[in-house]
Amino acid sequence: MKMANLVNNSSFCVVFLLILALENLGTRAETKAFFVFGDSLVDNGNNNFLATLARADTPPYGEVLGWEPTLPYLSPQLKDKKLLVGANFASAGVGVLNDTGIQFRLHQLGVGRVLVTGTGPLGCVPAEMALHSRDGECAEELQQAASLYNPQLVQMLDALNKDIGHDVFIAANTNQMNMDFITNPEKYGFKVSKVACCGQGPYNGLGLCTPLSNLCENRDEYVFWDAFHPSERANRIIVDQLFNGSNTYMYPMNLNTIMALDSRA
């Protein structure tokens, strides 16, 4: 996973993410390509080519899949054989538009699997805590919106899979993954779950993470790195849930199960 190191508004808050694993159905599994759509949580450099402060100019954490990392689609290096690996279309600050539903129709073009993440705990990120929280409580209205959205997303994807006849769409319950840290941080080795490691103002939730910001001594003890994004350690635990999580977190199956099934195809 990749996080932009600067953000500038609340639309960065895990609103929507599509990861498309495409394969040519007439060839072997090794020919798969990997396409990413999303916001600052997975922007691996596209915004570096745009006029914005929401940059993604630090190295990505790595590809757990074991495949060659995808390049930003705006990168001049994305050409020739690099195009066969896939591409990252994520851009920090992107939102959910009415026309993004077109991505669900890509199955007709040969999409093998589509991983769709739900929204995270919108009301518990430091940015929203700074605006709405008085005693450390999460913003109730935003949390309710997330709790309504995610189950309906699972229902929609389940219906799409039934129409197709097999499990193309996979739902990732990132809301629950994050809430595990926030409600029981000690269980996962965290000490601080509602204050960002880097920032300013209440809960370090105001403004950008800059050299002038407050900075924690040990980022591994914090659930949040900045006003919107999980810390690297939190992201690693989330990735582990994506690969190994139960149906509570990954429905109808996790990525390890998917890769095992697809390797036999």
Question: Sign (positive/negative) of CA torsion 118, 119, 120, 124?
Answer: negative
pLDDT score, position 218? 97
How many Cβ atoms from other residues are within 10 Å of residue 72's Cβ? 23
* pLDDT interval class at 60 (50, 70, 90): low
Grade residue 6 by pLDDT with cuts at 50, 70 and 90. Answer: very low
Predicted confidence band at 97 (pLDDT cuts at 50, 70, 90)? low
Q: According to the 3-state scheme, what is the secondary structure of 204-236?
A: HCECCCCCCCEECCCHHHECECCCCCECHHHHH
Q: What is the mean pLDDT of residues 257-262?
A: 88
Provide mean pLDDT across the span 180-204: 96
Rounded to an integer, what distance in angstroms lies between the CA atom of residue 256 and that of residue 261? 9
Contact (Cβ atoms closer than 8 angstroms) between residue 130 and residue 205: yes
Catalytic residues: 40, 226, 229
Residue 137 has pLDDT above 50, yes or no: yes
For the segment 207-227, what is each residue's pLDDT rounded down to a tens digit? 888 889 999 999 999 999 999
Angle at 239 between CA 54 and CA 46, to 5 degrees: 25
State the average pLDDT for the chain.
80
pLDDT for residue 121: 92
**What pLDDT does 114 receive?**
86
On whether the CB atoms of residues 114 and 68 are closer than 8 A, the answer is: no
Distance CA(261)–CA(135), nearest Å, equals: 48
pLDDT score for 12: 31
Among candidates 21, 27, 118, 116, which has minimal Cα distance to 65? 21
C-alpha–C-alpha distance, residues 123 and 136, integer Å: 11
Exposure letters 7-31 (e unless 16+ CB within 10 A, then b): bbeebbbbbbbbbbbbbeeeeeeee
End-to-end CA distance of the chain: 27
224 and 239 in contact (C-beta within 8 Å)? no
Beta-strand pair 111-117/198-199: unpaired
Confidence band of 34 (pLDDT split at 50, 70, 90) = confident
Q: What is the pLDDT of residues 197-208, one digit of tens each?
A: 999 999 999 988
* Mean pLDDT, residues 39-56 taken together: 76
Q: What is the pLDDT of residues 222-252, one digit of tens each?
A: 999 999 999 999 999 999 999 999 999 999 9
Q: What tens digit of pLDDT does each residue of 9-27 get?
A: 333 333 334 444 444 433 4
- Give the max Cα distance, the chain: 58
Q: Please, which residues bridge with residue 199 across strands?
A: 214
